[in-house]
Chains A and B, each alone.
Chain A
Amino acid sequence: MRRHGSKIRWLRVAHALLTAFVLGFLPLSLHAAGEEDRVLMLYGVDPYLPPFLVMDRAVRETVVSQSGRRVLFFSESLDTQRVNLETIESELVSLFAKEYGALRINVVVAVSRTALDFFLRHGERLWPGARVVYLGFVGYEDVATKLPAGATAVVSILDAAGTIDIARRLQPLARRLVVISGTSEIDRTAERQAREALAKVGDRLSVEYLSGVPQAELVARVADEGPDSIIIYLVQFRDRDGRPYEPHDVLRAVVESSRAPVYGAAETYIGLGAVAGSAASYEARGRLVGEQVLQALAGRFPEPSRTVLAAPNRCIADARALRRWSLNERELPGDCQVLFKDVSVWRRYGWQIALTLAIVAAQAALIVGLLSQRRKRRLAEEAEQAQRAALGRAARLTTAGELTGAIAHEINQPLGAILTNVDTAELMLDSGRDRREELRRILDDIRRDDLRASEVIKRMRDLLGKQNLERKVFDLNDVVRELESIMRAEARRRSVALEIKRAPEAIAIMGDRVQIQQVLINLVLNAMDAVADQPEARRMVSVTVAQSESGAVLTVRDRGQGIAPEHQARLFESFFSTKPSGMGLGLSISRSIVEAHGGRVSADSDPVEGTVFRAELPLAAATGAS
């Protein structure tokens, strides 16, 4: 097969060279310069069927690209596969006579035997002097004798044998073979060829011919075939009841319902679901026809000669169909052209796909980049928030540590009283006398002290263990009052004189009372630290609550030695501390709390007078909150 194919290729090369040589002398030959050549494409089949579209284009491209003159194409259809030509033939002829009466046609391409026969009957009258190039499909035995003098024929040999050979390579174990064909002339010719080819195969295969079986029945029949059968679809233009078909539609229906692989001996069958076949390419045939048209236009065919050419058949297969029936591509002949391979998509659209992928990848990278940036930013924000919370906790724990003594004192005082009262009550009961009134008074004392102890614990918890923020209106005086006992306890512990001055009027602040208490405690502890090393006369701290025109002012004053000027600027920075064990958080957190309440903290320091910290807070009415 391969040797045959290469011989054909050589022939074609020779043709091309000859054509080029002829074209070189074209202006000197039969036709006068300036006159155009006219070619009529006469179809005996539907010219819009896919194979004919491919072929028609190949004919025109070949002629136009290689002719040195202007070539006009005309096209007529005698679609006789589905319409009975006899009923309209006389009208058609008179129509053509009118159409082409004044037009000289140089070459008629007769596509199909019907068209050739029509030309033989009417060509002399309708297109006088025109040479004919016949494009036939199957069979050429009688073509040569029927062709008029000076005509040329391009036929295809329906390669039933080659197709059967390919099928048996793919399915070596198949025992049954079904051949499908119709009842039209082309159909019958194809079937005849298949019978001849199969006669040589021998009787190892049981063969059944489905000739002209109507499509519905045909579909049912192939559905009954097992996957081990081979189905050869030749061509079916017409069934035994004379019903016309489009052969590709029949193939489609067969392929759809068949459980056995379907093979077809035409190029256009591959792609409609047929697995493989041996067929001439329509494009190759179109080019061959085109070359013959050029020869005819150049007057290369002397009167008596009749030329018959055949386009080469070769193996062609469909990768998708191979996959559908689980057939192995490697069993195909080596030169077989396998269409619809996945890789071919990549090959054909390689750079487009690559570009698209690159754009998609770039977009994806951009999106991923933006997302990760956003994520990073969010994580950083969360980390900062967590850090701030941790600093707040650390500052509170530090405060708690500093206040331990004061807290213990504040709680042990009522606890001590309670225990003592319980002891007393016990002794009273043991005395044996009726002392109910005294006992009742003691119980009252115990209750009062118990509530007092739990109040201290609650306040400390609020102050030191606080998590959630509140926004409520409260009196700044209350903040000081609630902490007075603990501040006094701490002042006693440190032997510091503590003076507390509250405002006579209520000072309404909007915000978190406990946070403001943290600020107060922090400022007071700082002040006490500042006077720790001072002589007794200067160990004084004062807390003042007052109202100014700008709002509420909480002042904490100490009589310490003041703040060194070089430290003053960094006073409110985190982790800045002049104390050996200080964490440097208290003032920075105090400031952020006050600022969160819309206020500000300031410090004035003097080595003689000491230091004054002022926390200014807007009044609740002024913040506009309810």
Chain B
Amino acid sequence: MPPLIHVVDDDASMRTALLKLLTEVGFEVRGYSSAGEFLLQDAPDRPGCVLLDMRMPGPSGLDLQAAMRRQNLMLPVIFLTGHATVASSVTAMKAGAVDFLTKPVKREVLLDALERALAADATRRTAQEDASRLQARFASLTPRQRQVFDHIVAGKLNKQIAYELDIAERTVKREREQVMLKLDASSVADLGRLAELLHQSPAR
């Protein structure tokens, strides 16, 4: 799916100019004249980023950034401002902005920033997809198999697992083979790495 770029700027001419440029470069774009307008949109789940004017009437760019985080809208943010102060740029970067650009901005600089933002978005999306696939596999495990998995990644031997779960050691072996199969792992080390990914996954 091609990326969609959101442009939030109260200044009509700046917004229009940005939309034209980005269209010409080949992006799909959407423009919003305020933070509220952006938040009220029916946000499609598409790769992209937000080009955000720092200073706007009503909620500012920083306010919008915070609101997006709360709503789990993970699109990368590039700030644009007519007049940068050190304080506002620090706040923006701390809040996870990809870039902080000052108007007037050169095309190359803007496109570089967009590229970085889209790359970051793509990376994030891939990671997210991997994690959800893993979760789906994990979800296919039976409760007994999950217990066995937990004990394996905890570094326990079959005998110890059988004893703790009060089941036969043979049963542990069979369930272990099933876990390796379902999770597409070939070794205990693979299982450990998957456990780590699962742990990081936001779905957990």
Contacts and interface: CB of A to CB of B under 8 A. Distances in A.
B113 to A, nearest CB: 13
Contacts of A410: 82
A493 B102 CA distance: 15
B60 interface: yes
B60 A418 contact: no
Interface string A413-426: 11111111101101
A494 B18 CA distance: 26
A413 B60 contact: no
A529 interface: no
Nearest to A411: B82
Nearest to A414: B13
B103 A412 contact: yes
A488 interface: yes
Nearest to A404: B83
A448 B21 CA distance: 17
B147 interface: no
Contacts of A421: 17, 20-21
Considering residues A420, A423, A442, A495, which has the most beta carbons from chain B within 10 angstroms of its beta carbon? A420
B68 interface: no
Contacts of B107: 419-420, 423, 426
B55 interface: yes
A428 B17 CA distance: 13
Nearest to A430: B24
Interface residues of B, number: 26
Contacts, number: 85
A406 B106 CA distance: 22
B57 A449 contact: no
A409 interface: yes
Given A408-B82, A408-B83, A423-B107, A413 B16 contact: no
A540 B56 CA distance: 16
Contacts of A492: 55-57, 60
A445 interface: yes
Contacts of A452: 13
Contacts of B83: 405-406, 408-409, 412, 493
A445 B60 contact: no
Contacts of A445: 13, 16-17
B60 A495 contact: yes
Given A405-B83, A445-B13, A493-B83, A416 B104 contact: yes
A427 interface: yes
Interface residues of A, number: 32
B82 A416 contact: yes
Contact of B103 (A413, A427, A448): A413
A147 B23 CA distance: 152
A264 B54 CA distance: 116
A420 B57 contact: no
Given A414-B13, A488-B57, A419 B106 contact: yes
Given A424-B21, A427-B21, A412 B82 contact: yes
Contacts of B16: 417, 445
A442 B20 contact: yes
Nearest to A415: B104
A431 B23 CA distance: 13
B29 interface: no
Given A445-B16, A492-B55, A424 B82 contact: no
B24 A424 contact: yes
Given A424-B21, A428-B24, A416 B85 contact: no
A61 to B, nearest CB: 109
B105 interface: yes
B25 A409 contact: no
B14 interface: yes
A405 to B, nearest CB: 5
A413 B102 CA distance: 10
Given A412-B83, A416-B105, A448 B13 contact: yes
A420 B14 contact: yes
Contacts of B28: none
B196 interface: no
Contacts of B21: 420-421, 423-424, 427
Contact of B105 (A406, A411, A420, A493): A420
A423 B11 CA distance: 18
A413 B82 contact: yes
A413 B83 CA distance: 9
A102 B105 CA distance: 140
A417 B85 contact: no
Given A408-B82, A409-B82, A413-B82, A420 B104 contact: yes
A449 B104 contact: no
Contact of B104 (A409, A418, A424, A442): A418
B14 A417 contact: yes
A420 B24 contact: no
A406 B81 CA distance: 12
Contacts of A428: 24
B16 to A, nearest CB: 7
B76 to A, nearest CB: 20
A520 B110 CA distance: 38
Contacts of B18: 420
Contacts of A431: 24
Considering residues B16, B21, B81, which has the most beta carbons from chain A within 10 angstroms of its beta carbon? B21
Interface in A162-203: none
B11 to A, nearest CB: 5
A536 to B, nearest CB: 11
B105 A419 contact: yes
A411 B56 CA distance: 15
Interface in A37-91: none
Contacts of A416: 14, 17, 80, 82, 103-105
Interface in B19-63: 20-21, 24-25, 55-57, 60
Contacts of A420: 14, 17-18, 20-21, 104-105, 107, 110
B200 to A, nearest CB: 37
22 contacts: A405-B83, A406-B83, A410-B82, A412-B83, A413-B103, A414-B14, A417-B11, A417-B104, A419-B107, A420-B17, A420-B104, A420-B105, A423-B21, A423-B107, A424-B17, A427-B24, A428-B24, A431-B24, A445-B17, A492-B57, A492-B60, A495-B60
Given A411-B82, A442-B20, 15 more contacts: A408-B83, A409-B83, A412-B82, A412-B104, A413-B11, A417-B11, A419-B105, A421-B17, A424-B17, A427-B25, A445-B17, A452-B13, A488-B57, A493-B55, A493-B83
Q: Which 6 A-B pairs have the closest CB atoms?
A: A416-B103, A409-B82, A423-B107, A419-B104, A412-B82, A420-B17
